[in-house]
Amino acid sequence: MCAKVLLIDDDVDFRVAVKSLLEGHGYTVLEAASGHEGLQKVVEHKPDAILLDIMMETTTEGYGVTHSLKCRDEFAEYRNTPIFMISSITENPDERFPMAAEVEMIRPDGYLTKPLDIPELLRVLEKTGGATKGAVV
């Protein structure tokens, strides 16, 4: 048993690469190609961490997902699931979507930049419980 990571991104190639990487490090990786599909997968699979693209069908789709998970009652169970938002835009995401800086409800637990820095990604996931968490339970 390994920790489960849900990867929500509309770029299939990015998903393929990151999935292989994380599986190589003992994680179970679930994929979703949209925010909507992502929310469904959260309920179905109860992931331990979520990697979430910001700009998908709309420019701020990822923030909508974060808001749902952090605030909506039907997702209350997953309120503490760590969310890491990812984007290929390198500028501070809070600057790109200034609302996020002030609106607590849509704040993720962290931001990562695409392409993901492999050691950093592994470190971040390790901190949230890591691949061994599932094995302990």
Count the helix, strand and coil residues of the chain and give each as a percent rounded to the nearest 5. Answer: 50, 20, 35
Interaction mask 14-43, other proteins, x per CB under 8 A: x-xxx-xx--x-------------------
Among residues 44, 118, 127, 135, the one that binds other proteins under rule CB under 8 A: 118
- Element (DSSP H or E) covering residue 49: strand 49-53
Given a contact cutoff of 8 angstroms between Cβ atoms, the answer to whether 63 and 54 are in contact is: yes
Map the footprint of other proteins across residues 60-89, applying CB under 8 A.
Answer: 87-89
Among residues 11 and 126, whose Cβ is nearest to other proteins? 11
3-state secondary structure of 62: helix
Tell the smallest beta-carbon distance from residue 97 to other proteins (Å): 10
- On the CB side of 104, how many CA atoms lie within 13 Å of its CA? 2
The site for other proteins, by CB under 8 A, has a size of: 19
Among residues 65 and 86, whose Cβ is nearest to other proteins? 86
What's the CA gap between 35 and 65, in Å, rounded? 6
Instruction: Enumerate binding residues for other proteins (CB under 8 A).
Output: 11, 13-14, 16-18, 20-21, 24, 55, 59, 87-89, 96, 114-116, 118
